[in-house]
Amino acid sequence: MIVSVHQPQYLPWLGYFHKICQSDIFVFLDNVQYKHREYQNRNRIRTSNGWMWLTVPIIKGHAYPNISEVYIDNSQGWSRKHWRAITLNYAQASFFNTYKSFFNDLYGMQWERLIDLNIYIIKKINEFLGITKKIYFESELNIKTINTQRIIDICKTLKADTYLSGSGGKNYLNEELFRSNNIKLVYQDFRHPEYAQRYQGFVPFMSAIDLLFNHGPDSLRILLSST
> How confident is the model at residue 100, as a pLDDT?
98
Calpha distance 190→16 (Å, rounded): 10
Angle between helices 96-106 and 208-215 (to 10 degrees): 140
> What ranges do the domains of the chain cover?
2-223
Query: Distance (Å, rounded) from C-alpha 188 to C-alpha 103?
Result: 30
pLDDT at 60: 83
Distance between CA atoms of residues 150 and 206, nearest Å: 30
Is domain 2-223 given the CATH code 3.40.210 in the classification? no
Q: How many CB atoms are closer than 10 A to CB 202?
A: 13
Q: For the segment 160-207, what is each residue's pLDDT rounded down to a tens digit?
A: 999 999 988 998 999 999 999 999 999 999 999 999 999 999 999 999
Higher pLDDT, 2 or 168: 2
What pTM did the predictor assign? 0.95
Q: What is the tens place of the pLDDT at every residue in 57-67?
A: 999 876 767 89
